[in-house]
């Protein structure tokens, strides 16, 4: 069970909803992923195209927990405003704090992220900050009382996987709240590795929406996350330098 604030989830895969080829594929991918948490962005509505379909209107919103993000915000104040707009929908109380500090790498601004998280906690939000893999920042956010830490595996949409497993392992080891690896996942093996390392969940988007077959990749990610988690719980064997026979050494039949 993944517990974030008052919410409980059986799925440990959080799925982003951006950049899918079309709503039909997206709907099937969401179903295949069995994700219970879906992220969204908040944007101005095109009021002159009222008939334009919106993915949310195709979803049974009561079947999912919506996790809006503050993407686009560059300061804590902007992030707080976006979070409040999202909450006023009446559809959610969780917020993914995303304050980007650099347009090229899309890496989060640690200071503004910290400030935004503090302000949002005071406002009573369930706060999930997207952060770099900085161990001390994760600790500081945790001390503030955030409900989960979401360190990036590598830059958003890069598909590079976990580029600093050591830092990630330090974050996981010292965590007192769920750690959700967010951003940079490319292959199912990346997601499985994150789970084997002890992450509580994985948030991904482009790895699925950008795959040749997003529906199949959604399934692959679900299975990888389940496999990684089961592997963690099962307890892997230690790595040894030399071989250790799996068949009995005694009793070999010789002529």
Partner 1 sequence: MKLQINGEALEVPDTVTTVTGLLEHYQLGGKMLVVELDGVILDQTAHGHTKLPEGSKIEIVHFVGGG
State the catalytic residues: 96
Those residues whose C-beta lies under 8 Å from the C-beta of residue 196, and which sit 6 or more positions away, are 228, 231, 232, 236
Site for partner 1 in 130-159 (CB under 8 A): 156-157
Q: Does 86 bind partner 1 (CB under 8 A)?
A: yes
Q: How far is CA 147 from CA 52, 128, 138, in A?
A: 35, 6, 12
Nearest to 149 by CA among 170, 125, 129: 129
Q: Is the Cβ–Cβ distance between 106 and 97 less than 8 Å?
A: no
Q: Does 91 bind partner 1 (CB under 8 A)?
A: yes
Q: Does 206 bind partner 1 (CB under 8 A)?
A: yes
Task: Compute the least distance from the CB of residue 253 to partner 1, in Å.
Answer: 59
CB-nearer residue toward partner 1: 30 or 172: 30
Site for partner 1 in 20-79 (CB under 8 A): 20, 26, 39-45, 47-48, 50-51, 54-57, 66, 68-69, 71
Site for partner 1 in 178-197 (CB under 8 A): 183
Our measurement of the distance from residue 216's CA atom to the centroid of its chain's CA atoms, rounded to an integer in Å, reads 19
The Cα 148–Cα 142 span in angstroms is: 8
Q: Does 85 bind partner 1 (CB under 8 A)?
A: yes
CB-nearer residue toward partner 1: 29 or 135: 29
Task: Dihedral sign for Cα 12, 34, 207, 228, please.
Answer: positive
Interface residues with partner 1 (CB under 8 A)?
16-20, 26, 39-45, 47-48, 50-51, 54-57, 66, 68-69, 71, 84-86, 88-91, 156-157, 183, 203-206
């Amino acid at each position: 069970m993944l517990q974030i604030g008052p919410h409980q989830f059986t799925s440990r895969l959080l799925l982003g909803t951006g950049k899918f080829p079309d709503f039909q594929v997206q709907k099937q991918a969401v179903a295949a992923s069995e994700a219970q948490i879906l992220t969204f962005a908040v944007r101005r509505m095109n009021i002159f195209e009222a008939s334009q379909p919106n993915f949310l209107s195709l979803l049974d919103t009561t079947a999912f927990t919506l996790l809006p993000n503050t993407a686009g915000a560059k300061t804590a104040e902007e992030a707080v405003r976006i979070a409040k707009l999202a909450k006023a929908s009446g559809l959610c109380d969780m917020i993914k704090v995303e304050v980007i500090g650099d347009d090229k790498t899309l890496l989060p601004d640690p200071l503004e992220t910290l400030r935004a998280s503090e302000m949002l906690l005071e406002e009573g939000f369930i706060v999930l900050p997207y952060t770099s893999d900085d161990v001390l920042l994760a600790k500081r956010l945790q001390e503030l009382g955030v409900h989960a830490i979401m360190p990036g595996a590598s830059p958003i949409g890069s598909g590079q996987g976990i580029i600093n497993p050591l830092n990630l392992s330090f974050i996981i080891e010292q965590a007192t709240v769920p750690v959700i690896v967010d951003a940079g996942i490319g292959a199912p093996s990346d997601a499985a590795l994150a789970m084997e390392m002890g992450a509580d969940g994985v948030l991904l988007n482009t790895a699925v929406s950008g795959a040749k077959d997003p529906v199949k990749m959604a399934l692959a990610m679900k299975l990888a996350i389940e496999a990684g988690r089961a592997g963690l719980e099962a307890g892997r064997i230690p790595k040894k330098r030399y071989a250790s026979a799996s068949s009995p050494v005694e009793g070999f039949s010789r002529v």
